[in-house]
Structure 1
Amino acid sequence: MASSPTIALAGATGGLGPAVLEELLANNFHVTLLTRQGSNSAGGVAKSELLNISEIGYSDIKGMTDVLRGIDVVVSTVGNPGLDNQIPLIDAAVAAGVKRFIPSEFGADPEHEKNKPLPFYIRKLRILDHLKEKAANNPGFSYSRVTTHAFLDWGITEGFLLNPKVHQITIYNGGNTRFSVTTLRTIARAIVAIANNLDGTKNRPVFVHDAAITQNQLVRYAKEADGIDWAMESMDTKQLLHDSLEEMKKPNPDLAKAMRGLTFVAVYDEDHGPDLTDRLSNKLLGLPVMTEKEVAEVIKKAMLAA
């Protein structure tokens, strides 16, 4: 039996990274955890015979290349502040002979025609273009980009999809637009499945979700979890798009507010392809889709954890 690919993981201490690391180790992958030089972010990571920790400097391509020699798959789960560091990491991966690079995507589809013009996706598209160029010019190197749309459990505990602490939610376009939701564990399982099927996932988008639901369903399941009514504000995503773009034109824009608005547009506006059902790669990866009952249970647990 062939041995499992060796993995390097960047961003293992963020929102998604710990779930990915846990799943990789649970499936007996040898993992090299990449941490910034001088950072103590890996201090809380549990020790494992399968885990090595290597400090890197993103400006030191030669140093990163040396660390990545012998690695088959590089997985990046870095957050928005670290997105641009993926460019030199990709260059080092190519130089080291890495077979596959999985960039930090995992949200709405950045290559959807309605998402491409959004400022939020400029850097992600630049990284994807860089990956495509490297893959085209280096036959031994390839990429997979993973689109999962909204994070379900994280989106509740972090107050993104709704705010369980004060029972408030903004309902967009009436709340009946179906959008895909995915738990952190399913995203991690998708990464494991890609590592185990490099040929079938080569140089392509991989679409994964647990289910497609509506905001009205989300509120109903949340109310079933604790019986408390929700305060609901209504908003139109087209107006939100206009307001967010106008905010960015101001001399001193509130960029966080604008980017958050654009994110909600990508998540909830029907024209932006929020329902991945017709594009799913779940079957390719051997991942099931959740039943309504299972979705409701995830929401209940996330509500209790918030």
Structure 2
Amino acid sequence: MSIKNVVLVGASGCLGVEVFKRLAAASDLNLKVLRRNGSTSTFPGNVQVVDVDFGSVESLAAALAGQDAVVSTISSEHIAAQKNLVEAALSAGVKRFIPSDFGSNLANEATQRLPVFLPKIDIRNRLIEIAKTTDMTYTFVYNGAFLDWGIDQSFLINRAGDKTQVVDGGDIPFSVTDLASVADGVYGVLTHPEETKNRAVYVEDAKVTQNQLLGLAKQAAPSKSWDVEHVALDDLTSAADKRLAQGLLDFQTFGPYLYRAIFGKENGGNFDKNDNALLGVKGKTEEEVAEVVKHHVK
């Protein structure tokens, strides 16, 4: 199998921007971007952009004709839009589908059961079923917590220096990867189609702890307070369960489940292996991790 013609969906999102940069710069790939009808997102003039109706399998299939692979970086709140995209890819004869499965280890059964990931699991299961009886294949890319995004959004630590929720003591190691390294991993999948066929791949820049990140943040911005609030993971997810039962579907409900995926002992957030060497992902030294933290907290 060889992959030459690639469609990117979600190219204007946080991860999509980085994946777009990486794939657009690749001389061995032809890149096409699918854009939602009515979108105001803009792209360089040398990149083919096709406006489509994501509610129509027919519209999507027409746009995917002749394409070898689909890379979806659709944001979490729009994951369900991939359902039509998967069926359109199957109809159009696409060889490889990389869904927006990035982040936590969804090959882990405990993580699969977390409510926040159920829409992703629906797509994941559909792709696995399709691959059993057709020529369309898949690759799931897992990268742990997003290092740069996680700091920038005050998720891993509070970048403003105000109170950070430190989970279960703050010394639990977990895998992190920045957005650009994930993009390198996606390119690596596309250029190693046989080695990455119908399986999950793992990319990882480093293993860190919350306390380590806070220590680096204090060094980078010593004038900030860097106060902490110690919290128990079980308490956070118990409160989330109650909110979910009340029908409260917001980040206050779903955030603790993301913490569970990262910090939970049974959830595989600390990868025991990675595919960096195969995919051409360099990883980061302690000094490079410190630079990422410094960039986002200064």
Q: What TM-score range do you get, normalising by the shorter chain?
A: over 0.9
Q: Quick one: which of 45, 57, 61 aligns to 2:57?
A: 61
1:282 aligned to 2:276? yes
- How many residues matched? 296
1:198 aligned to 2:193? yes
Paired position in structure 2 for 1:291: 285
Paired position in structure 1 for 2:145: 150
Contact 1:111 1:125 in 2 (8 A): no
How far the C-alpha of 1:4 sits from its partner, in A, is 6.0
Amino acid at match of 1:120: V
Paired position in structure 1 for 2:18: 19
Amino acid at match of 1:19: E
Task: Name the SS of the counterpart of 1:21 in structure 2.
Answer: helix
Paired position in structure 1 for 2:8: 9
How far the C-alpha of 1:270 sits from its partner, in A, is 2.5
Provide Cα deviations, 1:98-148, integer angstroms capped at 9, x if missing partner. 111000011111231221221111111110111011111112x10000111
TM-score with structure 1 length normalisation? 0.92
Task: Name the SS of the counterpart of 1:217 in structure 2.
Answer: helix
Change (3 A) 1:254 1:287: closer
How far the C-alpha of 1:163 sits from its partner, in A, is 1.8
Task: Name the SS of the counterpart of 1:239 in structure 2.
Answer: helix
Structure 2's unaligned 5+ residue stretches are none
Distance 2:127 2:2 in 1: 26
Contact 1:170 1:235 in 2 (8 A): yes
Provide Cα deviations, 1:170-205, integer angstroms capped at 9, x if missing partner. 110100100111000000000011110000000000
Change (3 A) 1:166 1:254: farther
Task: Name the SS of the counterpart of 1:145 in structure 2.
Answer: strand
1:129 aligned to 2:125? yes
Distance 1:203 1:68 in 2: 20
Distance 2:160 2:68 in 1: 42
1:301 aligned to 2:289? no
Contact 1:146 1:208 in 2 (8 A): yes
Q: Quick one: which of 258, 261, 268 aligns to 2:263?
A: 268
Task: Name the SS of the counterpart of 1:160 in structure 2.
Answer: coil
TM-score with structure 2 length normalisation? 0.95
Distance 1:157 1:256 in 2: 16
Distance 1:113 1:103 in 2: 18
Contact 2:3 2:193 in 1 (8 A): no
How far the C-alpha of 1:232 sits from its partner, in A, is 0.3
- Quick one: percent identity of the two aligned structures? 33
Structure 1's unaligned 5+ residue stretches are none
The ranges of structure 1 where at least 4 consecutive aligned residues each deviate by more than 3 angstroms after the TM superposition are none
